[in-house]
């Protein structure tokens, strides 16, 4: 049975981490996290820049489901 993974958005300050997607393969999770739009330090899309302005620094990571 293949493990599934979820994407988590982590914030530097004052905001709890939140799950953005569930049920992904490891390959899908890695691909998501390699996108420059999944970090406040590398994003360029207006909605992600606005998200950074509202919530501060953030990045997306992944973890195996059921591991926490």
Please report which confidence band the pLDDT of residue 57 belongs to, taking 50, 70 and 90 as the band edges.
very high
Is pLDDT at 67 greater than 70 in this prediction?
no
pLDDT of residue 2: 78
Q: Is 53 helix (H, G, I), strand (E, B) or coil?
A: helix
Q: Where are the chain's structural domains?
A: 5-64
Q: How confident is residue 1, by pLDDT bands cut at 50, 70 and 90? A: low
CA distance 41 to 25: 25
Q: Is the pLDDT confidence value at 66 over 90?
A: no
C-alpha span between 68 and 65 (Å, rounded): 8
pLDDT for the residue 14: 87
Q: Specify the residue for token string 């493990």.
A: 3
pTM for the whole structure: 0.88
């Amino acid at each position: 049975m293949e493990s599934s993974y979820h994407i988590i958005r982590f914030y530097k300050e004052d905001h709890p981490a939140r799950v953005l997607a569930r049920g992904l393969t490891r390959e899908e999770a890695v691909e998501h996290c390699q996108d420059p739009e999944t970090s406040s330090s590398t994003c360029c899309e207006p909605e992600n820049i606005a998200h950074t302005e509202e919530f501060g620094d953030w990045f997306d990571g992944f973890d195996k489901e059921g591991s926490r």
